[in-house]
Amino acid sequence: MTPARMGAAAWRLLTDVRFAVVLITLLALAGLVGMLVRQFPITEADDPARYAAELATMHAAWDGLPAGSLIVEVFDALGFFSVFSTPWFLLLMTVLVISIVCCTLDRTPRLWRAASYVRVEQPVAFFDPTREGRAVVEMTGEGSAEAVQSALRRRHFRRQRVVQAGDATFVYGDRNQYQKLATLLTHAGLVLFLAGGAVTVAAGFETVVFVGEGETAPVQSVGTPGNLLVKNHAFFAPRNEDGSFADFSTDLSVYRDGEEVARKTIRVNDPLKTEGFTFHQNTVGPTAELIISDAAGALVWDGPLLLDDELLGMPQGFMTVPGADVGLVTVLGTDASDAPALVMQGVGPADPQTGQNETLFLVTVPVGATTDPEVTAGQSITWAGVGSWTGMVIRSDPGQALIWVAFGLLIAGLVLTFYFPRRRAWARVTKERVELAFVADRFVDAERELEQLSVTVALAPRERIGTETDRSRA
């Protein structure tokens, strides 16, 4: 096959509405999979270690079912856990965009010709009253053509043409002449919508950051040029009379290169927007305010430990003690008297033979107490109190502007298509009578419109309205 024939075949395929419907159906099915199958967070999908952890979680949930492990492996291979960023999904979107563009280019000349070219003079059979959308108005006299024009104007037919042919005068009226071109707005909206989604997938950013009161945390990976920092100045969680939380809010600052660029108290549904990022209040949790000194008495830690995990329904956190090969697993619970108590387990490096971590100590510490360094591997640990951390979803969506423009174009195209349908009316005026023909889009009640036009014509005054006669056939 020659390149020309291949190109022609590709053009026929891309301009085939059935092909576009197939693509849209496949994308809809992919979207259904994305809704039914739990999608891995973007931050974890991009991190091999986190992705492996998420995959292990899926195996733990599915392996007990018949063929559960196989299903997880197949879903992983097909990209069902991150549908909207898989190569095949992006390929389908790209081909659909190309198809829409090709369909638009193919249809535009025909739509323009259909909107701009009108045959005013029609054969007698065109006005046959037995056909749908045809009627005869008993009106005779010299002013009948002017009466038709007046009636068309009163029915908001702005474009009118008059042609004299033999003993008959043909009058044409057009309302919403270029309405069919509104489909081009819809096509443009679809293209921009898909393009905006592609830009978001390719260049967008989303992460979750946990930061305790008085602490700062980086937004992007450490070392990213121009990395932003966020600081949690204070967290507020007022309660209702019944003890439930009335609100969550964080006094948040954003820094770039050491300079504060924005500050705001963010709440649920009231984010901070700056530097192309949006900072959403998402979740909250407790912190354990710890003061840790080493065996020499030197202070190595004074700040919050985020209890951002859970163990048997109790908040849990982990940290590595600075300057020591000691991992500190911390669980916030209660003692025998239901008073707050912090359970701390110190673990050493993993044994190369077994892969297991050695337990160095296990202690329970009440609020304000300090551990015995001899018990806690030489570390003096003081639990100063309970604080709060805030969890924020941070997003950058560079395709958002395109998507908003797309929505505007889609809505405009749909409104023009469904609420401003094209209506066309022809009249053949002779000395004996006025014959009418009415053509409109299928969702217009043509018979009712024709009846209203007929009544308007019959009642119209015999006055000239100044429309020039067009002797040429349009």
In a domain, 66, yes or no: yes
pLDDT in tens, 95-123: 998 999 999 999 899 999 988 888 999 99
Per-residue burial over 49-76, b if 16 or more Cβ lie within 10 Å, else e, is eebeebbeebeeebeeeeeeeeebeebb
Q: Are 372 and 235 in the same domain?
A: yes
Looking at the chain, the whole-number percentage of residues with pLDDT higher than 90 is: 36
The predicted model gives 329-351 an average pLDDT of: 87
In a domain, 200, yes or no: no
pLDDT in tens, 418-449: 889 889 999 998 887 888 888 887 778 878 88
Q: Are 291 and 335 in the same domain?
A: yes
Q: Write phi, then psi, for 214 (nearest 5 degrees).
A: 80, 0
pLDDT in tens, 356-406: 888 999 999 999 999 999 999 999 999 998 888 888 999 988 888 999 999
Q: Are 10 and 105 in the same domain?
A: yes
In a domain, 471, yes or no: no
Q: Are 163 and 257 in the same domain?
A: no
pLDDT of 474 reads: 36
Confidence check: pLDDT of 262 > 50: yes
Q: Are 330 and 437 in the same domain?
A: no
pLDDT in tens, 20-45: 999 999 999 999 998 898 888 766 66
Per-residue confidence band for 463, with pLDDT thresholds at 50, 70 and 90: very low
Confidence check: pLDDT of 328 > 90: yes
Q: Are 328 and 345 in the same domain?
A: yes
pLDDT in tens, 121-138: 999 889 888 888 787 776
Extract the tokens encoding 26: 């496949």
In a domain, 195, yes or no: no
pLDDT of 470 reads: 33
Cα separation of 157 and 169, whole Å? Answer: 18
Q: Are 106 and 125 in the same domain?
A: no
Cα separation of 266 and 249, whole Å? Answer: 5
User: Of the given ranges (173-187, 205-219, 234-248), which has the lowest mean pLDDT?
Assistant: 234-248
Domain span at residue 359 reads: 205-396
In a domain, 139, yes or no: yes
Q: Are 226 and 334 in the same domain?
A: yes
pLDDT in tens, 143-161: 688 888 888 998 889 888 9
pLDDT of 300 reads: 93
Q: Are 232 and 147 in the same domain?
A: no
Instruction: Report the predicted TM-score, pTM, of the whole model to 2 decimal places.
Output: 0.66
In a domain, 468, yes or no: no
Confidence check: pLDDT of 7 > 90: no
SS3 472: coil
SS3 169: strand
The residue from 110, 127, 152 where one domain ends is 110
In a domain, 182, yes or no: no
Nearest to 235 by CA among 427, 392, 47, 75: 392
Confidence check: pLDDT of 282 > 90: no
What is the separation of C-alpha 192 from the centre of its chain, rounded to a whole number of angstroms? 12
Nearest to 197 by CA among 458, 397, 426, 428: 397
Q: At a CB cut-off of 8 Å and minimum separation 6, what does 302 contact?
A: 290, 291, 292
Q: Are 218 and 278 in the same domain?
A: yes
In a domain, 43, yes or no: yes
pLDDT of 468 reads: 31
pLDDT in tens, 77-99: 999 988 888 889 989 988 998 99
Q: At a CB cut-off of 8 Å and minimum separation 6, what does 38 contact?
A: 58, 81
The residue from 64, 94, 110 where one domain ends is 110
Q: Are 133 and 94 in the same domain?
A: no
- The pLDDT mean for the chain works out to 86
Q: Write phi, then psi, for 120 (nearest 5 degrees).
A: -75, -50
Q: Return the residue matching tokens 């009846």.
A: 451
Cα separation of 173 and 120, whole Å? Answer: 9
pLDDT in tens, 164-180: 988 889 999 999 999 88
pLDDT of 369 reads: 92
**CATH number, domain containing residue 163:** 3.30.160
Q: Write phi, then psi, for 15 (nearest 5 degrees).
A: -95, 5
> What domain count does the chain have?
3
Per-residue confidence band for 233, with pLDDT thresholds at 50, 70 and 90: very high
Confidence check: pLDDT of 260 > 90: yes
The residue from 396, 411, 433 where one domain ends is 396
DSSP notation for 441-453: -TTS-HHHHHHHH
Q: Are 240 and 265 in the same domain?
A: yes
